[in-house]
Structure 1
Amino acid sequence: MKKEPVQPKEQIVSKRIQSFDEVVSCYSEDEAIGEASRCLQCAVASCASGCPVGIDIKKFIAEVCARDYAAAYRTIRQKNNFPSMCGRVCPAEYQCRRTCVFTKKGLSFAASSAINIHFLERFIGDWGLLHQASTVSAPAARAPRVAVVGSGPAGLCCAGELARAGIKVVIFESLHKLGGVLQYGIPAFRLPREILDVEIKNLEAMGVEFVTNFVVGRACALGDLFAQGFSAVFLGLGAGVPSFLGVPGETLCNVYSANEFLTRINLMRAEQFPQFHTPVNIGKKVVVIGGGNTAIDSARVALRLQKIRGFSPDTTLLYRRTETEMPARRLEIEHAKQEGVIFSFLVKPLLLRGAPDGFLKEITLLRCERGEPDQSGRRAPVDVPGSEYTLPCDVAVIAIGLRANRLLTAATAMLTVDAYGDIIVNPDTMETSIENVFAGGDIVGGEGTVIEAMGMAKRAAAAIIKRFAAKGD
Structure 2
Amino acid sequence: MSEYLKAERAQEWREALRKSIKNKDRIAIPRVKMPEVDPAVRSRTYDEVNLGLTPELAANESHRCLDCVDPTCITGCPVEINIPKFIKNIERGEFLEAAKTLKETSALPAVCGRVCPQERQCESQCFYTLKLKKEPVAIGHLERFAADYERMSGNISIPETAPTNGIKIAVVGSGPAGLAFAGDMVKLGYDVTVFEALHELGGVLRYGIPEFRLPNEIVDIEIDGLKKMGVKFVTNCIVGKTISQEDLKAEGFKGIFVGSGAGLPNFMNIPGENLIGIMSCNEYLTRVNLMQAADPDSDTPVYKGKKVAVVGGGNTAMDAVRTARRLGAERAMIVYRRSEEEMPARVEEIKHAKEEGIEFYTLHNPIRYEGDEQGHVQRMLLQRMELGAPDQSGRRRPVAIEGDTTWLEVDEVIVSVGVSPNPLIPQSFDGMEVTSWGTIVVNSDTMQTADEMIFAGGDIVRGGATVILAMGDGRKAAKAMHQYLKGDQVEK
Distance 1:397 1:296 in 2: 11
- SS where residue 256 of structure 1 aligns? strand
Amino acid at match of 1:294: T
- SS where residue 369 of structure 1 aligns? strand
Can you list the C-alpha shifts for 1:431-454, whole angstroms capped at 9, x where unaligned? 111121111111111211111111
- SS where residue 477 of structure 2 aligns? helix
Give the alignment partner of residue 337 of structure 1, picking from 345, 354, 364. 354
Alignment correspondent of 1:445: 462
Contact 2:104 2:159 survives alignment (8 Å): no
Distance 1:93 1:190 in 2: 17
Can you list the C-alpha shifts for 1:101-131, whole angstroms capped at 9, x where unaligned? 21235x3x43xx2111000001111123332
Contact 2:176 2:470 survives alignment (8 Å): yes
Give the alignment partner of residue 235 of structure 2, picking from 186, 192, 212. 212
Distance 1:70 1:24 in 2: 21
1:280 maps to 2:306: no
Alignment correspondent of 1:14: 40
Give the alignment partner of residue 55 of structure 1, picking from 46, 61, 81. 81
Contact 1:177 1:183 survives alignment (8 Å): yes
1:202 maps to 2:225: yes
Amino acid at match of 1:299: V
Deviation (angstroms), 1:250: 1.4
Give the alignment partner of residue 176 of structure 2, picking from 153, 156, 170. 153
Amino acid at match of 1:69: F
- For residues 85-104 of structure 1, the aligned pairs below 5 Å read 85-104=111-130
Deviation (angstroms), 1:74: 2.3
Show structure 1 runs of 5+ residues with no match.
none
**Length-normalised TM-score, structure 2:** 0.91
Distance 2:306 2:479 in 1: 51
Amino acid at match of 2:420: R
Give the alignment partner of residue 258 of structure 2, picking from 235, 251, 258. 235
- SS where residue 230 of structure 2 aligns? coil
- SS where residue 270 of structure 1 aligns? coil
Distance 2:39 2:421 in 1: 37
Alignment correspondent of 2:364: 347
Distance 2:183 2:474 in 1: 10
- For residues 82-121 of structure 1, the aligned pairs below 5 Å read 82-104=108-130, 107=132, 109-110=133-134, 113-121=135-143
Distance 1:467 1:322 in 2: 46
1:222 maps to 2:248: no
Amino acid at match of 2:305: G
Contact 1:138 1:207 survives alignment (8 Å): no
Distance 1:467 1:379 in 2: 43
Contact 2:103 2:159 survives alignment (8 Å): no
Amino acid at match of 1:288: V
- SS where residue 252 of structure 2 aligns? coil
Distance 2:398 2:228 in 1: 51
Deviation (angstroms), 1:268: 0.6
Can you list the C-alpha shifts for 1:406-450, whole angstroms capped at 9, x where unaligned? 112112241111111111111222111112111111111121111
Identity, % of aligned pairs? Answer: 44
Give the alignment partner of residue 267 of structure 1, picking from 290, 303, 309. 290
Larger mean CA deviation between 73-82 and 436-445 belongs to 73-82
- SS where residue 272 of structure 1 aligns? coil
Contact 1:39 1:61 survives alignment (8 Å): yes
Contact 1:51 1:96 survives alignment (8 Å): yes
Amino acid at match of 1:132: I
Show structure 2 runs of 5+ residues with no match.
1-24
Alpha-carbon distance change, 184 to 383 in structure 1, aligned in 2, over 3 angstroms? same
Alignment correspondent of 2:98: 72
- SS where residue 302 of structure 1 aligns? helix
Amino acid at match of 1:49: T
Alpha-carbon distance change, 96 to 138 in structure 1, aligned in 2, over 3 angstroms? closer
Contact 2:200 2:235 survives alignment (8 Å): yes
Larger mean CA deviation between 81-90 and 56-65 belongs to 56-65
Alignment correspondent of 2:427: 410
Can you list the C-alpha shifts for 1:14-44, whole angstroms capped at 9, x where unaligned? 1101111100011111110011101122222
**Length-normalised TM-score, structure 1:** 0.94
Contact 2:123 2:136 survives alignment (8 Å): yes
- SS where residue 7 of structure 1 aligns? coil
Deviation (angstroms), 1:467: 3.0
- For residues 255-404 of structure 1, the aligned pairs below 5 Å read 255-274=278-297, 276-306=298-328, 313-404=330-421
**CA-based RMSD:** 1.5
1:131 maps to 2:155: yes
Contact 1:138 1:205 survives alignment (8 Å): no
Contact 1:187 1:262 survives alignment (8 Å): yes
Amino acid at match of 1:147: A
Distance 1:32 1:131 in 2: 19
Contact 1:139 1:163 survives alignment (8 Å): no
Deviation (angstroms), 1:245: 0.8
Deviation (angstroms), 1:139: 6.2
1:43 maps to 2:66: no
- SS where residue 131 of structure 1 aligns? coil
Amino acid at match of 1:205: K
Give the alignment partner of residue 192 of structure 1, picking from 215, 218, 221. 215
Can you list the C-alpha shifts for 1:253-303, whole angstroms capped at 9, x where unaligned? 1101000000000001111222x3221101110000001101111110011
Amino acid at match of 1:439: A
Deviation (angstroms), 1:243: 0.7
